[in-house]
Structure 1
Amino acid sequence: MSTHHTHNDLHNEQGALAGEHPGRARNPVIKVRDLAWLEFEKPDLDGAEVFAHAFGFTTSFKDRDELHLRGTLAGSPAVIVRRGTRSRFTGPAFLAADDADLLRLAGHLGVVVTALPDNLGGLTVDARDPSGARVRVVTGCHTLAALPEQVPLVHNVGGRVARANTPQRPPREPARVERLGHVVLQTPRYREALDWYLEHLGLIVSDFLYYDGQRSKGPTMSFIRCDRGSEPADHHTLAMTLGPRARYVHSAYQVADLDALAAGGEFLRDAGYHRSWGIGRHIQGSQVFDYWRDDDGFLVEHFTDGDMFDDTLEPGWAPMTASGLAQWGPPASADFLGIKPGRESLAEARSILSALRRSDNEFDLTRLRGLLKVANS
């Protein structure tokens, strides 16, 4: 495999050393095209819809037990929320290229292809990854027509005048979500789960992170994209990180530009919602980001201007540090890092004790020391 397109010397990134994980499977079962949607359960669908509209989603379907939220681009819903007794993330759905791929995956996994509900259309193969998370792979779903987009502003850049006699007045309104970008998941069985997604869904790694001083023990986080050949895909559609328990970390949704993101953030702040971290620009993926908490505590991200990679780029490698999460912006907050005192950090602390007592996961004392170093870096 050629490495002439490795993204070396960007900030602190380097390519792989001899014998390290190649970041892709040699013969994957299928190659998914994209992340189709994310599924959640919540007791209060009306409350979920209020936040969703403030965040910039549009409702595409709602009844007593189900809420579908979409962006402006044509396609499927970005988020599906079903009524449940408690708030929880129930899994991602990936888009297969065609029915033949779906049948191939079903045969490999030893499961059946089933029909999705009429309000979605199409077919699905449902599986469990090594962390126990339900993963759907779908095809043939109804396509929602595009909605009016939020038009990016015209900028005067340097000496180039593109806007004259016209002041800039971006309205303070919800940043209109265009599409689902990625989801980040934590797992105590990181390497096993990573290989499962690469081998079954044909995903490929854009960047690996490792705990400082522990590179020889292997990576502990990966940013993973779809393999569309020569067609560029998002730097990451899925990101996975090692941790003491399997859980949702955050999901990200594209908006038009920085002004839409910033003005939308002002709208959310005025509405009383909590900004977790932002505004800044990431290193891995390069996105301009802004993170918020919904009413149920789920972390969600507005992003714009993310990297797009084709299949020629090999993985970058870098140490995992809190300061290495952004090129510019405020320091990563305790809330974003999961160390702010509260229910979530207490649950994580309890899961650390549980994971250290078990031998069926990758989270040991050495990895715990590495994780604590990240939080203090």
Structure 2
Amino acid sequence: MAGSHSDLHSEQGAVRGDHPGRAANPVIKIRDIAWLEFDKPDLVRAEAFARAFGFQTSSRGPDELHLRGTDSGAPCVLLRRGDRSRFTGIAFRAADEADLRRLAAKTGSTVQPLPDDVGGSEVRLVDPSGIPVRVVAGVHDLPQLPTQTPLLVNVGHDVIRANATQRPPRAPARVQRLGHVVLQSTKYVAALNWYLENLGMIVSDFLFFPGQRERGPAMSFIRCDRGSEFADHHTLAMALGPANRYVHSAFQVSDLDALAAGGEYLRDRGYFRSWGIGRHIQGSQLFDYWRDPDGFLVEHFADGDMFDDSLEPGWAPFTASGLAQWGPPVSGDFLGTSPRGARAEALSILRALPRRNEFDVHRLIGLLKVARS
């Protein structure tokens, strides 16, 4: 297949009857992801990991913690004290408050003010998977902070660094911004269409379970539609699975050295690397995945693809070996097949199969093939 679609970013394009990957007339077109929200029982422990991972603290109270990157904008992550650790929602940034009013009218919602420390307004929605979604506008932008300067690199015979050494410090990688979130859904197609139709997002790449191309996609990498302006390959990724849940989130750092040295810093402090370092296929990012103390998966990334609205979706089989161009083999921890995750995964499957949703026995067979391929 290689080279048969040389004008695409994927070796395979769509065939007749495939999902188009975009809505004909979306309600609005969001500009970006804004922040993620979690409950945490121990905010002190959560902040210690966050600082080691490379966040800055923008606001701290007895029951709430806001984490930011070095880019200007809203905080990346909002943590609230809760009796257990859980993902509680996602916020996307609209172009303006007129878009909020349009979205509210279409969805039967209302435009509400956000708290004074955040500023602006929001529309609160819930996607078909039950994930709380805020769409916000007019929020206060935090000022830009100093970031890590990418190292000058000699490439082949092209010498741009001479009479100078490279000494990247083994220090926390300074997170620049929130790049994307990955969710799993038992109602994958319904949820996918909801984001395309209401928020105007468009699909960059589809993955299908091995041997199940005719049943349509089982995962999608979805970007913001900014017209001719470039956007991240994916701001949201969604996968069909046995539960409606957060999978991981990704935060940009300056370059490979920041990512690698930051990983050494985390490892030296006893934190658990789930998978990395490597380079993805869909999105092309350099990646390094870590578990926070509560078990949530977070990613450092650098050098991701940027697309405008002219590129159509690529199609590829969903395989474990196809998740990276290079790097160590995908880990059982990342796939949920390690002893620490297998029991919870099995319970999710047992709960999902009797219910009326898109995750049926045939899709379970396809998912099991992913981990073995």
Q: TM class, shorter-chain normalised?
A: over 0.9
**Tell me, what secondary structure is at the counterpart of 2:167?**
coil
| TM superposition shift of 1:13 | 2.9
Aligned to 1:3: none
Q: Quote the offset at 1:353 in angstroms.
A: 1.1
1:142-221 aligned within 5 A:
142-221=140-219
* Contact 2:10–2:314 (8 Å) recurs in 1: no
Whole-Å Cα distance in 1 between the matches of residues 331 and 322 of structure 2? 13
- Contact 2:280–2:323, Cα closer than 8 Å, also in 1: yes
- Structure 2 partner of 1:352: 349
Match for residue 22 of structure 1 among 20, 34, 57: 20
* Closer, same or farther: CA 10–340 of 1 in aligned 2, 3 Å: farther
Length-normalised TM-score, structure 2: 0.98
Q: Percent of pairs identical after alignment?
A: 71
Mapped to 1, the partners of 2:154 and 2:349 lie a distance apart of 51
Partner of 2:360: 364
Q: How does 1:227-306 map to 2 (within 5 A)?
A: 227-306=225-304
**C-alpha separation in 2, matches of 1:150 and 1:12:** 32
Structure 1 CA distance for aligned equivalents of residues 6 and 34 of structure 2:
31
Instruction: Tell me whether 1:136 sits opposite 2:130 in the alignment.
Output: no
Q: What is the CA distance between 1:7 and its match in structure 2?
A: 6.6
Q: Is the 8 A contact 2:9 2:314 kept in 1?
A: no
Residues 75 and 217 of structure 1: CA distance in aligned 2, closer, same or farther (over 3 Å): same
2:369 corresponds to which of 351, 363, 373: 373
Residue 339 of structure 2: aligned partner: 341
Q: Check 1:354–1:9 CA distance in 2 against 1; reply closer, same or farther (3 A cut).
A: farther
Distance 1:13 1:38 in 2: 33
Alpha-carbon contact 1:273-1:293 (below 8 Å) kept: yes
Paired residues in the alignment total 370
Post-superposition offset of 1:162 = 1.0
Whole-angstrom CA distance in 2 between matches of 1:112 and 1:12 = 40
Match status 1:108 vs 2:106: yes
What does residue range 34-113 of structure 1 map to in structure 2 within 5 Å? 34-113=32-111
Question: In the aligned structure 1, how far is the partner of 2:114 from the partner of 2:9?
Answer: 45
SS at match of 2:265: helix
Matched letter for residue 375 of structure 1: A
Letter of the 2:361 partner, please give it.
L
Amino acid at match of 2:359: F
> What is the CA–CA distance in structure 1 between the aligned matches of 2:92 and 2:344, rounded to whole Å?
29
Q: CA RMSD in A?
A: 1.2
**3-state SS of paired residue (1:213):** coil
Letter in 2 for 1:367: R
Give, in angstroms, the shift of residue 18 of structure 1: 0.6
Q: For the Cα contact (< 8 Å) 1:72–1:176, is it kept in 2?
A: yes
Shift in Å, 1:348? 1.9
Unpaired segments of 5 or more residues in structure 1?
1-5
Deviation at 1:156, TM superposition (A): 1.0
AA partner of residue 370 (structure 1) = G
Structure 1 segments of 4 or more deviating over 4 A?
Answer: 6-12
Secondary structure of residue in 2 paired with 1:357: coil
CA distance in 2, matches of 1:305, 1:271: 26
